[in-house]
Amino acid sequence: MSKNTPKRIGDYEVIRELGHGGMGEVYLVRNVLSDRVEAMKVLLPSLAGRSEFVARFMREIKVLASLEHPNIAALRTAFSADDQFVMIMEYVEGTTLAERLERGPFSTADALNYTSQVLSALSYAHGKHVIHRDIKPGNMMLTPQGVVKLMDFGLARSADEVGLTITGTTLGSLDYASPEQVQSQPTDERSDLYSVGVSLYQMVTGQRMFSVTSSFSIMEAQIKTMPRPPIEIVPTVSRELNDVIMRAISKDPAQRFQTADAFGAALSQLSKSLAQPSKGQTQAAVTEFSTPQRTFDPGFTVPDPNASSSRGKRNLLLVLGAVLVAALLAGAAIYKSRQHGPEEVVASSAVQAPAPTNPSDASNAQNHDSPPQPPPTPTVTESQPAEANPANPKPPAVIARKSQPASQNLSPAPAVPAEDIQAQQQAALEHKQQLDAMETEIDQLDSRAASADSSIDTLEQQLHQSGLGLRGDVVASRSNMRTDITKAKQALEASDTERARRYMDMAHRELEHLEAFLGRR
């Protein structure tokens, strides 16, 4: 866990962070009472005082509390702790379909299977008058058992709710948003089905429906541009599947599937056709079965009576050769050992494993905790050469070790304590340098923010002229960025570097969101 990750919230021990976004953070947690591992979603403390985010978080809690379906991640409970709003959800182990798409397109069978599960969840949610409004592969979790769980109902609303969207704003991920969402028009269940169609398009082709990058271009394409049919990108896509996808992503809601059940029934029919072989394939299979081919199986070998005797002769020769080689190696080893005299053997063994010279040395050597040191290099003087010293039978290596103990070469490093006055001066200097660096950083941040702000103002005017609205998350990010930069400057004026850093980081996250929207990142 990072240093900013809490260790415990209420009765839940935080194990690690699973993810975070502009609105909240998600942790893997363990209930200390039940020992069950779950997922915890926490509204960011900095947003707790902003009514629009609190309302959205509370709405997600109430929506999830009303839903119980095997393809929807379940809400366990919700509470507030230490001025934080918290929801406890079912922990879904697996990977999102967006992460799976990074490895390429799905097989037709998998794409139909996963999409059918999502439609089953939507059929149930729509029956409860709940519209998701942010359907995309990133909100579809695939478990190791092949079950798809629909997640993140943060933008969901009931069909009878009003006043939950900022006037003239667009919500949802633009790559998957329906034309009516992009135009800030009223949405219904068919908007979710459009997003499912876009997701299925990407699963089958492995490509985004529109290759444009800027947010304005994506919004314009969702309204005016017809995408390439999947069959033109992947020729192996069947005509029936191609037609189903193109119907799901019709610009006009009236031309789409009108219910999740109708969409799911069309996919079920395609799945059945995949499972049943075509008439031509069946006839070919019958012909192949009735007319066996006269070919030999390459894995089958007919026994040859002459082969066994020849293999026996080869084996006998191999055994005799191995015995001869072993005998030669043994003779060479004996010959080599007789070439060395006893003096060389003694000297070699002394260098490799020197024995202690007294009982205390032996005891210390056995009880020492540090790893063994390499043997010292033998030292030989002119007056006592190593080759001839009959008075002292000990090897030269042992003599050198006794005559030069290692303790004589060690000298303790002097400890120089720092003066208090010097420490204070150093701390003051570092604090001033930190303030100077942060002032430079916030000036650069302020300059980038002004540039992004100006571009968004221009884009907002263009959108209004085209009858479009600015996305709600962009409106919120721009407001939050201005507020966070102001608070960071105030903290710097008060020399509060910790508080300034916190607001600078928050402003930087909001600015990155805006720059990504403008296509600068």
Whether the CB-CB separation of 154 and 60 falls below 8 Å is answered with yes
- Tokens standing for residue 81: 């702790």
Distance CA 15, CA 37 (A): 9
d(CA 69, CA 114): 15
- Among 215, 221, 223, which residue's Cα sits nearest to residue 473? 215
**Burial class of residue 81 (count of CB atoms within 10 Å of its CB; 0-12, 13-18, 19+):** middle
Rounded Cα distance, 249 and 258, in Å: 12
Looking up tokens 């609105």 gives: 23
Instruction: For residue 29, list its beta bridge partners.
Output: 14, 38
CA distance linking residue 285 with residue 299, whole number of Å: 23
Whole-angstrom Cα distance, residue 405 to residue 358? 14
DSSP structural state of residue 167: T
**Six-digit token pair at 258?**
């009108």
Cα 465 to Cα 458: distance, rounded to the nearest angstrom: 11
At 109 the three-state DSSP class reads helix
The DSSP element (H or E) to which 287 belongs, if any, is helix 279-290
Burial-class residue 502 by CB neighbours within 10 Å (0-12, 13-18, 19+): middle
Report the catalytic residues: 134
For 132, half-sphere exposure in the C-beta direction (CA atoms, 13 angstrom radius) is: 31
Alpha helices (H) in 4-77, listed in sequence order: 51-65
| DSSP secondary structure string for all residues of 319-385 | HHHHHHHHHHHHHHHHHHHHTS-HHHHHHHHHHHSPPPSSHHHHHHHHH--SPPPPPPPP---SSS-
The number of C-alpha atoms within 13 Å of 16 and in the hemisphere containing its C-beta is: 2
- Taking the C-alpha atoms of residue 78 and residue 85, their distance in angstroms, rounded to an integer, is 8
Name the nearest CA neighbour of 133 among 93, 186, 96.
186
Q: How far apart are CA 198 and CA 250, in angstroms?
A: 10
Chain-centre distance for alpha carbon 253: 36
Are 182 and 219 spatial neighbours (Cβ–Cβ below 8 Å)? yes
Which residue's entry shows tokens 């709600």? 472
